[in-house]
Every structure is written in C-alpha cells, then in structure tokens.
Amino acid sequence: MSKEITWEEALKKRYSEKSEKKNEDTKITGFKREFNFKRMNTTKKENKYYHTELLELDSKKILKNVTERKKGDDLAQRRNETFRGKESHKIINASYTVGAPTANWKSWDNEKIKEENLKRTLSGQNVKMAIETLKNFDADEIDSKMWVIQDFNNSPETLAKYMKLFKNKGNLDFITNKKEAKELEKFFSKYEILEEPKFDKKSGMSALVIGNKETKKVEVIFGASQGLSNIFLIGGEKGKRARQDWLQNDLPSTIFTPDTQRAAKKLTYQVKEKYKNGYNGYKELTTVNGHSKAGGEAIYSASHIPGLKCFAIDPAPVTDCGRWINQNNLLTMVPNMGNGFIAATEKVEGTEFHTLKIKPSVSNKNVFKTLALPVECNDKGEHFPDNEMSVDRLRELQKYANKVEKKLEEQTRYSNTKNNNIIENVR
C-alpha cells in the first residue's frame, strides 16, 4: 500500500524537481492544452458571473491541476523555442502595448508571489480570507461613493467644488453637469462631508472626511492624482500640483514610501483620534478609500493603523505595507478584468476569487494576501472601472462566497466525521 503524501510534500517535490536543461535538443511534434477552470456560459440569474460547479477545495486536486497546466505552459515555451529560437536573458522585462501601456508589466517579486499565493491557496488561507473580507464590505456603500473616490483630487478647482459642497451641506444647485449631479446625489443620499477638504502643501496629499448618515461612522477619501497631461501645464497651481502628484509621489512609490503616503497615515491617525469618542454626532473612523495614488495612500494608512477597513481602486504601489492589512480588511477593484493600469490580480486556484498584486513595484509585501476583484473598465481606459458593473460583480461575488462557505463547512464536517471514524476503528 503506497504512502499517502500531504499537499505540502507534493508542493515541495514540485518545486524541487529539476527542469530540463535549456541547451538540450528538443523535438516536439505538437501539444495540447486544456484549461482547468474555464468559465461556463450560463443564463441562470443566480450564476450571473460566478458559479460553484467548478469549485475545487481539495488541496491535492488543486496542486495536480496547477502542475498539469504548468507542464502545458512549459511545453508551449519549448515549442516556441524550437521554431523561433531561444531568447537571450532579459534584465528588465518591459514591453509596450498600444492602448494599454502597462498590460505586460510584472512586479519584481512576481514569481515569488505566485509561489506564496499557491501555498496560501493549498492551505485554505486564501479562500477563508476572501469569504471573511467580503463580509466586511457593504455593496450599497461602495456604490454610493465610487464616483466621488475617482473624482476627488488636489486640483484647486476640485478642492473648491468640494469646499462649496461642504458649506452648502450637499446642495447641488451649482452643479450644471447632469451626470455629475446624479452621481453626487447618490453620494449625498448616504454620506455627508464632515469637514473642509484637506490639502497638505508639502506632499500634495488631499483628503475628504465623510460620515455615513445611517451608521454614523466616519470614513476618509484620499485624493487621486490629476490626469497625467496636467503635468505639462506651465505656470499656475494646477500644473504644479499635478507634477507633485506624478514626479514626487507616483513614480517614487514604485521603489520607496513617498511623502504623500506618510502624510495620509498622519491624517488618518488624527481623524481616528478626533472621532474615537464621538464628535458632532459621528463616532469611530472605520474606512479609508482611494483610487490610483490615493489607493496607495489608503492601503498604507490602513496597514499601519489597526482597526481600519480599506477600499481601493487600481491602487498605486505600497512597498512598505504594514501588518494590519492582513485582517481581512482590504478590498480592491482592478479594472480591465484584473489587468489595470497599475494593479493586477492572481487567481486563487479552484475558485473565482483573486488576490492583489501591483505591477510597477519592487515589493508586494502583505498586499498579495488580500482580496482583489477583477472588473470591467469604462470608456476612459484600463485605469477606471465601470462603476455599475463593478458593484454588480461585488454583489454576485458575495453571493458566491456564501455558497463557497457552505461547501467549506460541509467539507470540514465530512473530514471531522472521517477522522472520528478512524479513531473509533483504532480503539
């Protein structure tokens, strides 16, 4: 009778196996690849986006599927080398795709993330993390604030607009754009602006302190970068701040923690202290939010200050992500179905869940242990989600997570029963 090995032993064996020598002559007559988790076409309303028919929670079966797919990938690569010749070693693997300039970018620790992510999947950590994270976020709240999260930034015009909205207590009479008015009306139906918009001149960080009218809890929305084209505006405060966004913060964030993330953390702590015992009818800071540069600020703040949730959209790199981000408290939406302008997603094998990784970054420390939701982008490109479809996907993924949790409980009960039977037989 053959000895049954654990998934840890199988994984160790997989990574320790020696690959074929690259200089070895290889004759390949053809190859076939099958996708293990091909999405099913379905018209059932309850299976709008996600389904449990192909759910696999058995770690050994997951590893077997991954290994077989890896063999297919290796075979495809060897086939290409046979017909096209071998590529020389690349120090930097970067390419440019028209319309999606960062589509093929990968973080410096991409391969390490893949390996660690698989280990977390095989141990069940990723599935449990996804289920618990989705319990911590309200789709209606996200629906109400998504547009403002993407609209708010540090330009003088934007800060003036939100200052007026604060003083007018959400009166929209001066908003002439119908779409903008509709989105702001949705926002103010659930939230109100509690303080004057914040702007830190030294770093360029901007922030909006808001309150949930129903829960009386406090949140912070950090300001995103201005459009890249604004850096070419010569003279004036708007161009100056745009250059501050991109040159002083966005680009450096790929390598180290920029001033804007440190300033965001400082403000977050101040707001938390101000509202911890109640202030003007609101009590307790619960959530920080942000898109792009602001997403990085939100993640950095929540990762270094305990007790906070974080909602981010295609966030900037966070090279020093603190330990508090691993409390099932970060949800990220990644446009372009998981291949955004900055962020990307890694599949949790056997499920419809994904984890986060940020492409132009030297380190995805702790970030890769969090939940990411691939969503459609709008007509602005891969940096901006289709808000309506994104929220719809979130609701559907929450339904899917409930079904997965039930199956996980069934599997646990079955495993416990099996173990108890073994113990009784031994006795």
d(CA 174, CA 395): 34
Would the pLDDT of 385 be above 90? yes
Q: How many beta carbons lie within 10 A of that of residue 113, not counting itself?
A: 22
| Paired tokens of 150 | 């993407």
What are the DSSP calls for 128-150, one per residue? HHHHHHHHT--HHHHHHHHHHHH
Q: What's the rounded Cα separation, in Å, for the pair 153 and 221?
A: 10
Res. 5 pLDDT band, cuts 50 70 90: low
pLDDT averaged over the chain?
Answer: 81
With a CB cutoff of 8 Å and minimum separation 6, the contacts of 22 are: 86
| Radius of gyration from C-alpha coordinates of the chain | 24
Percent of the chain with pLDDT over 70: 73
Look up residue 374 and give its amino acid.
P
Q: What is the Cβ-side half-sphere exposure of residue 11, based on CA atoms within 13 angstroms?
A: 18
Average pLDDT over residues 257-269: 92
pLDDT tops 60 at residue 425 = no
- CA 147 to chain CA centroid, nearest Å: 17
Helix (H, G, I), strand (E, B) or coil at 163: helix
Taking 70 as the threshold, does the pLDDT of residue 22 lie above it? no
**Helix%, strand%, coil% for the chain, nearest 5:** 50, 15, 40
Question: 259: pLDDT confidence band, cut at 50, 70 and 90?
Answer: confident
261 pLDDT band, cuts 50/70/90, is very high
What is the helix (H) or strand (E) element at residue 403, kind and residue range? helix 387-426
| pLDDT tens digits along 277-313 | 999 999 999 999 999 999 999 999 999 999 999 999 9
How far, CA to CA in Å, does 279 sit from each of 126, 211, 387?
A: 38, 11, 32
